[in-house]
Amino acid sequence: MGDEALIRLEDVHFGYGSHAVFSGLSMDIPKGKITAIMGPSGTGKTTLLELVTGQRHADRGEVRIHGRNLGTLSRKALFRLRREMGLLFQEGALFSDLSVFENVAFPLREHTRLSNILIHHLVLMKLEAVGLRGAALLNPSELSGGMARRVALARSIVLDPVMMFYDEPLVGLDPIAMGVILRLIVHLNKTLGMTSVIVTHDVKEVLKIADGSYIISEGRVVAQGSPSGLAQSRDPWVRQFLEGAPDGPVPFNYPARDFASDLFASGALP
């Protein structure tokens, strides 16, 4: 997209058995920007996050971060690289038996040898950043959906990641909570100097904050550009997705034989 790429996918092919998810997918994620990755359900957006975080490896092609091919990294090098990543899961994935404070402290206790006093300071700083320092002693069951997502965000940034990956961060949130999360994503990206990747179906909301966007479908990039550029595009793929049209390049009907033939055929469906 014209900026220095922190993450680069080059001709990536990936599938599950005989089912191809990506067939020559290429994209650049620019450093220091917010990039939205959008597309219809089942196009592999979450799988894409698994590829760029090293949870899965491409069948063909390359996934590079900092110029390093994830497919050639040793297990130790990959784990070291993951220390630079933060991931916000769709549902937050908080530990139900730990307090808000201990949920945020968990990565620090697992991956560092910091003293308890330093952990205390860092956790409160991150909770303050998401506006929930006063909720430190609450349990996850006492939180609203929006608050739980903000706690999960605090936990994701507690190790000061270089890259943040958001997997459907707005799912299930009311408009107020949605606005809070979007503002936090922008604020944290700027203040912490991160590179953010948002996988989402919430097109209109995320395009308000994204610097650039990719639309993927049928295993490839079908459109890319700035939010304003996509909004002005006359490409049928783009128009169908942005407008939520039920039919277009992505058909509403699953392929089937002639309707009348099915209605009047004797016996069970083939």
pLDDT tens per residue, range 199-242 = 987 778 888 899 999 988 888 888 888 888 888 888 877 777 77
**pLDDT tops 90 at residue 168:** no
For residue 162, give the 3-state DSSP assignment: coil
Q: How far apart are CA 138 and CA 132, in angstroms?
A: 10
pLDDT tens per residue, range 238-265 = 777 777 766 666 665 666 777 777 777 6
Mean pLDDT, residues 20-38 taken together: 93
Mean pLDDT, residues 13-26 taken together: 90
pLDDT tens per residue, range 78-126 = 988 988 999 998 766 899 999 999 999 999 999 889 999 999 999 999 9
Domain layout of the chain by residue ranges: 1-84+194-270
Return the H-helix or E-strand segment holding 120: helix 116-129
Mean pLDDT, residues 36-61 taken together: 88
pLDDT for position 253: 65
Domain 1-84+194-270 fold is Rossmann fold (3.40.50)
pLDDT for position 267: 56
Mean pLDDT, residues 193-198 taken together: 94
Q: How far apart are CA 218 and CA 87, in angstroms?
A: 25
The CA distances from residue 124 to 9, 109, 154, 192, 214, in Å, are 37, 15, 10, 16, 35
What's the whole-model pTM score? 0.84
Mean pLDDT, residues 145-149 taken together: 90
